[in-house]
Amino acid sequence: MLSRYDAVRDLHHWTYKIPGMLAWGMIAGVAFAMVEYPAVALACIRLLGLYVVLRVFVALLFYPLGLYQIHRARTRAQRSAGAPILRSVHHVVIVPNHNEPATILARTLDGLARQSCARRRLIVVLAMEASESGADTKARMLRRRYAGKFARFIVTIHPADLPDEVPGKGANQRWAARQVRVMLERDFGASGKRRCVLKTISGACRGRYAC
């Protein structure tokens, strides 16, 4: 796909043939010089060989230096991961659901529990709907199952038929976020000493992605 920054949009424009023409012209010029001016051709070949040797030498010299820089950057990143400002960050993950099977939710929560920071800094919010039959029972069962696996496991129940509200996933998320905000401000305060990163997910999730 052509970019709007392309100077010439016609791929068959003669300007696109210039690189190929230069390459073939150089090859033809070297062949001609080897017949008519062999000394000049030999000097050019020697300079080209010297250039290739220098490029190989530079690559051999800076390749280990590049590996060292990568290793040092990774070490610095690992050390900074334990810095006080990062240790104070809590990840709030809202899992909105409605008539979601407990097995699907368990798969999602298992993925979250595998995070390295789950017990210290991961706050899971199970956003339930009051209109779902058996929502309380399912929430209590999941809370017992995952007790102690997260920094906090919060269950919110979104009331049905709220005035001036369109029912749906977005309304459930908004309700859960407001409830959690009140809880966190009550426990952590609003001074900014503790920071929270809000995330929302739905369905099943796997892997190590939260922390």
Domain shared by 116 and 46, yes or no? no
Task: Mark which of 52, 80, 108 sits at the end of a domain.
Answer: 80
DSSP 51-118: HHHHHHHHHHHHHHHHHHHHHHHHHHHHHHTTSHHHHTEEEEEEEE-SS--HHHHHHHHHHHHTSTTH
Helix (H/G/I), strand (E/B), else coil: 196? strand
Domain shared by 188 and 173, yes or no? yes
CATH number for the domain harbouring residue 182: 3.40.50
Quick: pLDDT tens for 119-151. 888 899 999 999 888 898 999 999 999 999 999
The answer to the question of residue 206 being in a domain is no
Helix (H/G/I), strand (E/B), else coil: 139? helix
The answer to the question of residue 210 being in a domain is no
Domain shared by 92 and 185, yes or no? yes
DSSP 147-186: TTSSSEEEEEEEPSS-TT---SHHHHHHHHHHHHHHHHHH
The pLDDT of residue 169 is 84
Domain shared by 88 and 144, yes or no? yes
Domain shared by 90 and 183, yes or no? yes
Quick: pLDDT tens for 60-106. 888 888 888 888 888 877 666 555 555 667 888 999 988 889 999 99
The answer to the question of residue 207 being in a domain is no
The answer to the question of residue 208 being in a domain is no
Measured in residues, the chain has a length of: 211
Domain shared by 44 and 145, yes or no? no
Task: Mark which of 48, 80, 112 sits at the end of a domain.
Answer: 80
Domain shared by 88 and 185, yes or no? yes
Tell whether the model's pLDDT for residue 6 goes beyond 80.
no
Domain shared by 69 and 103, yes or no? no
The one-letter amino acid code at 208 reads R
Domain shared by 28 and 102, yes or no? no
The answer to the question of residue 209 being in a domain is no
The pLDDT of residue 189 is 66
The answer to the question of residue 205 being in a domain is no
Helix (H/G/I), strand (E/B), else coil: 198? strand
Work out whether strand 122-129 and strand 89-96 pair parallel, antiparallel, or are unpaired. Answer: parallel
Number of independent structural domains in the chain = 2
Domain shared by 95 and 45, yes or no? no
Q: Which domain holds residue 145?
A: 84-200
Domain shared by 185 and 169, yes or no? yes
The answer to the question of residue 211 being in a domain is no
Quick: pLDDT tens for 13-51. 778 788 888 888 888 887 888 888 888 888 888 888 898
Domain shared by 155 and 183, yes or no? yes
Task: Mark which of 65, 80, 95 sits at the end of a domain.
Answer: 80
The answer to the question of residue 66 being in a domain is yes
